[in-house]
Chain A
Amino acid sequence: MGPNPKMRKEFPDSTRSSPFPDEVLERVLSLLKSHKDRSAVSLVCKDWYNAESWSRAHVFIGNCYSVSPEIVARRFPRVKSVTLKGKPRFSDFNLVPENWGADVHPWLAVFVAKYPFLEELRLKRMAVSDESLEFLALNFPNFKVLSLLSCDGFSTDGLAAIATHCKNLTQLDIQENGIDDKSGSWLSCFPENFTSLEVLNFANLNTDVNFDALERLVSRCKSLNVLKANKSISLEHLQRLLVCAPQLIELGTGSFMPELTARQYAELENSFIQLKNLNTLSGLWEASAPYLPVLYPACTNLTFLNLSYAFLQSLELESLLCHCPHLQRLWVLDTVGDKGLEAVGSNCPLLEELRVFPADPFDEEVIHGVTEAGFLAVSYGCRRLHYVLYFCRQMTNAAVATIVQNCPDFTHFRLCIMNPGQPDYLTNEPMDEAFGAVVRTCTKLQRLSVSGLLTDLTFEYIGQYAKNLETLSVAFAGSSDRGMQCMLEGCPKLRKLEIRDCPFGNAALLSGLEKYESMRSLWMSACNVTMSGCRLLAREMPRLNVEVMKDDGSDESQADKVYVYRSVVGPRRDAPPCVLNLSGL
């Protein structure tokens, strides 16, 4: 629609393509929330590009090195909320050195000038220092929302600065970070007249917090609807907090260890009864059977139950699930066993998401956990299941085929058979047919993680059928370059590809030349790629950053870890010595 933007001149009203003034266009566009929609809108014509730029309040940057803060600020002058992601996902599993980069500070330095009224910052896998947190707290008077997920480099001192200076803070969400937990006194830094908090999640932290300060904080923040405490909060403490905050919608308990008198137990039970609005429950560290019933009254409206830190057995889980008829998301430890998962199948017909984490992932002697039987049981009872993360020690092709027949709507299928390269334990065949069934049946599949013994056939299937696949994780799989080629040639919507310990070499890497610019990133580690292959890629594709990290003592020609990503700002200048930048050489 609209005339060729290049032909239109910048005359105010006469030759504009849209029949209504900018303000109206901006108003309409401001109702668009999805950043994908906004990107599409901005491509229509120059007017729309400008209107979209002016009306964008939230910007999402999936790879902090794909663009610079200056470019972002130039294009979007009125941003209030920023989401930034940094390190490659495998940094969560210690495959990336600590000083790799993704420092948030250069972004804050630009934001202080361009977005002084910034309200929200959500960071994932970024390096965040205490100085940065203090800088944030002191320089952004309207700052409201801070979310740190899987970040590192800061300590509780940084949190103290946030608590002390952010007068308008509504959300403080600290999850799964590599945090230097010096002391719990940061919580006492919230001023006595501070009442705006709505979300407080400090479940990640290990040190004791000042309970009295916490209790006073919770009492005076009447809008608090999410509270996720850490292990230092005892059941007795919890009861006192719940009395102050019956309006909670999401609760993360502290330690659930038994140490209550009968009277205290009754009081705790009563405070759970008062939680009429609870839809999310987590925490439950050291939860034990006799105390779980205290939760039952609060479970009626639960949609998300996170038991992934509670070592529950099957019967305990079953008793709890009987009280959760509306459950949509469930996270558990594999201590519940297949029997526990049968209970899930029987009691949770509305379940959409299941994550089963291993309690003893590194213990070779362990014989418990979950098997294909548990997953099957869930699939028979929970037909709406569309998200699964499943860690197990055995699986069969037949089971997976049945599972996806029962639940064809999978959008996220992440199966981790924990022993690398393990075949179907009944037939001894590779697990190719399992994943073939997944991609053939689940046409809406967006994310896939494969495991077990896999030949190139798996990747032929993926390339052929996974037309909506965006994220793919591959480990200890494949037979030859052809495997990777199939993935790159076949999946039109592929954005993130991460590969480790597979026999894919330069031919495979280079087969994706045309593809990588349409993707966010490619990670390849412990494969057969060499430095010369990477250099060739960098030479042919100047708009890609090709970074290599070498392992100690490895062959000079080997490219041990390769990270390739598109960028409009060229090779980064903050790479540490261990990261070799092959682009622009």
Chain B
Amino acid sequence: MERSMAYDSDLNLKATELRLGLLGSDEPEKPSIAPSVSSNKRASPEISEESRSKGSSCVSSKVESGERDSAPPAKEQVVGWPPIRSYRKNCLRPKKNDQVDGAGMYVKVSVDGAPYLRKIDLKVYKSYSELLETLENMFKLTIGEYSEKEGYNGSDFAPTYEDKDGDWMLVGDVPWDMFISSCKRLRIMKGSAARGLGC
């Protein structure tokens, strides 16, 4: 009883609560249940809390005395959840290593002859044409059209990238999704070296 009263009064005080968080960064309304990690056997108190406030069924026989978190609990990897066989897990897409804060996938871009490098966020683009257009604008050059047979023939510049294996590849050969998951950095080659590609 006491706990539900505390819950109510929490809500009432929310409006006048002093916090150091950013504006608009309220915790989500829906109760996030802390998934039990393998060593934590009790179901989270949120479940029994929830059912009590909904008035649906009797109280859990042994309720943990830990307090209800006000912020959503950090989501640790729960053992064996979601229930996917190990074999299938190993076949999944590899995690994108370049992600920082989950907010972007920044790679360095160098252009032969340019004094300094730039950095772009690959996640922002949906396709090769968007990426190449940006590069053309950024470095004030023309890369031209891609063709499977001839690469970027007819242009002084060829966009290349270093993949996960450390090899330098021509941009455009592989599907976009595969490209962004394996691209580690970009290099726009110039001149005769560029024209040599795609033969």
Q: Which residues of A contact B (CB under 8 A)?
A: 90, 92-95, 150, 176-178, 204, 258, 285-286, 288-289, 308-309, 311, 357-365, 391, 416, 418-423, 425, 428-430, 432, 453, 455-457, 473, 475-476, 478-483, 500-503, 505, 507, 526-528, 551-554, 558, 560
Known: A289-B175, A473-B83, A551-B39. 14 other contacts (CB 8 A): A92-B85, A95-B79, A176-B87, A288-B178, A391-B84, A422-B33, A425-B30, A430-B50, A456-B58, A479-B58, A483-B57, A505-B61, A526-B38, A554-B39
> Of B41, B46, B61, B83, which is within 8 A of A554 by CB?
B41
Among the interface residues A476, A483, A507, which one has the most CB atoms of the partner chain B within 10 A?
A476
Which B residues form the contact surface with A (CB < 8 A)? 29-33, 35-36, 38-44, 46-48, 50-51, 54, 56-62, 75, 77-89, 91-93, 95, 99, 102, 174-175, 177-178
Question: What are 18 pairs between A and B in contact, CB < 8 Å?
Answer: A92-B86, A150-B85, A176-B87, A286-B178, A309-B91, A357-B88, A360-B93, A421-B44, A430-B54, A453-B47, A455-B54, A476-B43, A479-B48, A479-B60, A480-B61, A503-B43, A507-B61, A554-B39
B95:A479 contact, CB within 8 angstroms = no
Q: Closest Cβ of chain A: how far from B61's Cβ, in Å? A: 5
Q: Which of A94, A425, A429, A476 contacts B33 (CB 8 A)?
A: A476
Task: Report whether A93 and B81 are in contact in the complex, using a CB–CB cutoff of 8 Å.
Answer: yes
CA distance A360 to B80 in the complex (A): 15
Across the interface, which residues of B come within 8 angstroms of A418, CB to CB? 82
A258 to B148, CA, bound (A): 11
**A176 with B57: in contact, given A365-B102, A503-B43 (CB under 8 Å)?**
no
Q: How far is the CB of B51 from chain A (nearest CB, A)?
A: 4
A423 with B30, Cβ < 8 A, contacts A286-B178, A361-B84, A501-B43 known = yes
Given contacts A453-B47, A457-B57, A501-B35, contact A288 B175 (CB under 8 A): yes
- Inter-chain residue pair count (beta carbon < 8 A): 164
- Closest B residue to A475 by beta carbon equals B81
Task: Name the contact of A455 in the complex, choosing from B33, B50, B77 (C-beta under 8 A).
Answer: B50
Give 10 closest A-B pairs by Cβ, nearest first: A421-B33, A93-B80, A479-B51, A176-B87, A503-B43, A456-B57, A365-B102, A420-B35, A455-B51, A503-B60
Please state if B86 and A357 are interface contacts (CB–CB under 8 Å). Answer: no
User: Which residues of chain A are near B30, meaning CB under 8 Å?
Assistant: 422-423, 425, 428
- CB B90 to nearest CB in A, in angstroms, measures 9
Interchain nearest-CB distance for B112 vs A (Å):
28
| Complex-state Cα separation, A133 to B181, whole angstroms | 40
Residue of chain B at shortest CB distance from A456: B57
Determine the distance from Cα of A501 to Cα of B91 in the docked complex, in whole angstroms. Answer: 27
A residues in contact with B81, CB < 8 Å:
93, 420, 475
Q: Smallest Cβ distance from B125 to chain A, in angstroms?
A: 16
Cβ B56 vs Cβ A457 within 8 A:
yes
Contacts of B42 in A (CB 8 A): 503, 528
Known: A428-B29, A455-B57, A480-B57. A94 touches B82 (CB 8 A): no
